[in-house]
C-alpha cells in the first residue's frame, strides 16, 4: 500500500530493506584538505556513485517496487530536471515497464541522454513549474501512465530516507547532517531517519540563495513554493513540495543558503581536491559549511553528495 501519511520508523526501515538489493551502498569519502578548510570533520556520502548517478534512484526504486506489488502497473511518467527522470527510467527498465519523462528545455544534455539511454521517452516543456505539471498532466490523461512524483510523495520520502539511514550505519556519531533542498524529498527523508534513529544529530538544509523558497518557508512557517530557475544548481530549481515541507518544518534544525559563486567555489574544491565529479546541487552543503565556519567548527558532519550528472561541455569553471 502506498503511504498516505508521514512515514513511520517501520516504514523507513522497510524501505531500506526493500530497495537494498536494487541500489548501491555508496561509500563515504573524507578529505584532510576540506577538513582543514572547514575546521570540521566531514564525511561525504557519495550518492554521485549511486545507480543512475544520484540518490533519486532510492525513491524511484522504492515507489516502483511498491506499485509493482499491488497494481497492474502498465507505464509510469514524471517530470524532472534530470536526476529523478534518470532514476525513474532506470527503475522502470529494471522491472520492464515503459516510462515517459517531461523535462525542462534547459535540462543538461547529459541528463536527457541518460534518460533516453535507459529506454524512456523524453518530452520537453518550458522551464517553469507550471509547464512541467501541465505537460505531465496531458500525458497521464492520454496514456493512463501512473505518475511518480519526484518528491511530493511519502513513498519517495521514505525511499530518500534510506541514504541517511545508510550514512548513520556507516558513521554513527555525527553531530550534524547537511543535505541540499530542492523539492525537499531528501531533506525530509533525512530528517525522519535522524528523528527515528539518531536523535542527538542535527539536520540542516542547504539551498541556493537564488532558489530559497525552502529557507523562506522554514523561517516563516508558511509554505511558499517558488521555482528557482536561475541558479547554477540545476538539481534544486524545483519548488518545495508540501508534504516534505510539513516534515521539514517540524524535524529540521535550520536551512542555510549559499550564493551561486559560493556553490561553484565549493564544487571546484571537491573536483580538485577529492577528484570526484559532483554536480552543483551536491555541493551546496559544503558551501554552507565553509561559509558558516563558526556554526560548524569542530563538528563531525555528514554531507550527502547527491549526484554526479553534469554536462562536461557546460562546466561553470572560469
User: Binding residue for a second copy (CB under 8 A) from 19, 110, 265, 288?
Assistant: 110
Residue from 36, 96, 275, 294 touching a second copy (CB under 8 A): that is 275
Cβ 49 to a second copy shortest distance, Å: 6
The nearer residue to a second copy, 49 or 227, going by C-beta atoms, is 49
Which residue's entry shows cell 525552502? Answer: 214
Provide the minimum distance between the beta carbon of 57 and a second copy in the complex, in angstroms, as a whole number.
13
Residue 115 interacting with a second copy (CB under 8 A): no
**Residue 215 corresponds to which cell in the numbers above?**
529557507
Q: Is there binding between residue 1 and a second copy (CB under 8 A)?
A: no
- Pick the binder of a second copy from 43, 49, 154, 227 (CB under 8 A): 49
* Minimum CB distance to a second copy smaller for 17 or for 275: 275
10, 17, 36, 317: residue in contact with a second copy (rule CB under 8 A) = 317
C-alpha 137/C-alpha 301 separation (Å) is 40
Place of cell 577529492: 274
Q: With contact defined as beta carbons under 8 Å apart, do 26 and 49 qualify?
A: yes
Q: What are phi and psi of 249, to 5 degrees?
A: -55, -40
**Helix boundaries (H) for 171-220:** 185-197, 213-220
Taking the complex as a whole, the smallest distance from the CB of residue 54 to a second copy amounts, in Å, to 10
CA quadruple 182, 188, 194, 195: dihedral sign: positive
Residue 118 vs 245, nearer CB to a second copy: 118
Asked if residue 276 binds a second copy (CB under 8 A), the reply is: yes
* Cβ distance to a second copy smaller for residue 40 or 114: 114
Restricting to residues 297-316, which ones interact with a second copy according to CB under 8 A? 308, 312-313, 315
Residue appearing with cell numbers 563531525: 300
Our CB check for a second copy shows the closer of 1 and 312 to be 312
| Cell numbers placing 230 | 536561475
Which residue, chain included where needed, has cell 515507489? 63
277 binds a second copy (CB under 8 A): yes
Q: Which stretch binds a second copy (CB under 8 A): 13-21, 47-55, 177-185, 293-301?
A: 47-55
Give the count of residues interacting with a second copy (CB under 8 A).
Answer: 17
CA angle 117-122-123, nearest 5°? 170
Q: Which C-beta is closer to a second copy: that of 30 or that of 74?
A: 30
Nearest residue to 233 (alpha-carbon basis) of 278, 188, 201: 278
Phi-psi region of 38 (alpha: psi -120 to 50; beta: other; left: phi over 0): alpha
Residue 53 binding a second copy, by CB under 8 A: yes
Candidate residues 209, 271, 295, 299; the one interacting with a second copy per rule CB under 8 A: 271
Strand order in the sheet with 76-79: 121-125, 99-104, 76-79, 146-147
Per CB under 8 A, 48 contacts a second copy:
yes
Q: How many CA atoms lie within 13 A of 110 on its CB side?
A: 15
- CA–CA gap between residue 275 and residue 94 (Å, rounded): 30
85 interacts with a second copy by CB under 8 A: no
Q: Which of residues 218-247 bind a second copy (CB under 8 A)?
A: none
**Alpha carbons 227 and 175: distance in angstroms, whole number:** 31
Q: Which residues are at the interface with a second copy (CB under 8 A)?
A: 48-49, 53, 110, 268, 271-272, 275-278, 308, 312-313, 315, 317-318
Amino acid at each position: 500500500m502506498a503511504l498516505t501519511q508521514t512515514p513511520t520508523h517501520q516504514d523507513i526501515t522497510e524501505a531500506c530493506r526493500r530497495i537494498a538489493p536494487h541500489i548501491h551502498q555508496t561509500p563515504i569519502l573524507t578529505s584532510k584538505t576540506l577538513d582543514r578548510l572547514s575546521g570540521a570533520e566531514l564525511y561525504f556520502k557519495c550518492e554521485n556513485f549511486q545507480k543512475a548517478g544520484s540518490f533519486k534512484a532510492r525513491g524511484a526504486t522504492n515507489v516502483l517496487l511498491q506499485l509493482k506489488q499491488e497494481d497492474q502497473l502498465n507505464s509510469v511518467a514524471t517530470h524532472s530536471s534530470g536526476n529523478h527522470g534518470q532514476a525513474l527510467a532506470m527503475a522502470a527498465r529494471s522491472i520492464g515497464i515503459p516510462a515517459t519523462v517531461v523535462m525542462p528545455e534547459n535540462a543538461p544534455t547529459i541528463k536527457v541522454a541518460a534518460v533516453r539511454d535507459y529506454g524512456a521517452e523524453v518530452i520537453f516543456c518550458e522551464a517553469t513549474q507550471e509547464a512541467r505539471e501541465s505537460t505531465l498532466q496531458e500525458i497521464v490523461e492520454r496514456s493512463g501512465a501512473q505518475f511518480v512524483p519526484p518528491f511530493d510523495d511519502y513513498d519517495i520520502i521514505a525511499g530518500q530516507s534510506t541514504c541517511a539511514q545508510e550514512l548513520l550505519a556507516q558513521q554513527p556519531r555525527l553531530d550534524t547532517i547537511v543535505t541540499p533542498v530542492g523539492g525537499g524529498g531528501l531533506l525530509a527523508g533525512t530528517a525522519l531517519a535522524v528523528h527515528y534513529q539518531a536523535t542527538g544529530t542535527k539536520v540542516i538544509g542547504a539551498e541556493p540563495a537564488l532558489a530559497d523558497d525552502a529557507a523562506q518557508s522554514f523561517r516563516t512557517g508558511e509554505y511558499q513554493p517558488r521555482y528557482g530557475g536561475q541558479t547554477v544548481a540545476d538539481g534544486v530549481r524545483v519548488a518545495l513540495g508540501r508534504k516534505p515541507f510539513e516534515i521539514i518544518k517540524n524535524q529540521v534544525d535550520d536551512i542555510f543558503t549559499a550564493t551561486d559563486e559560493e556553490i561553484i567555489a565549493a564544487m571546484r574544491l571537491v573536483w580538485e581536491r577529492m577528484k570526484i565529479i559532483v554536480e552543483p546541487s551536491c555541493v551546496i552543503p559544503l558551501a554552507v559549511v565553509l561559509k558558516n565556519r563558526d556554526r560548524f567548527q569542530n563538528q563531525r558532519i555528514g554531507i550527502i553528495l547527491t549526484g554526479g550528472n553534469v554536462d562536461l561541455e557546460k562546466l561553470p569553471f572560469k
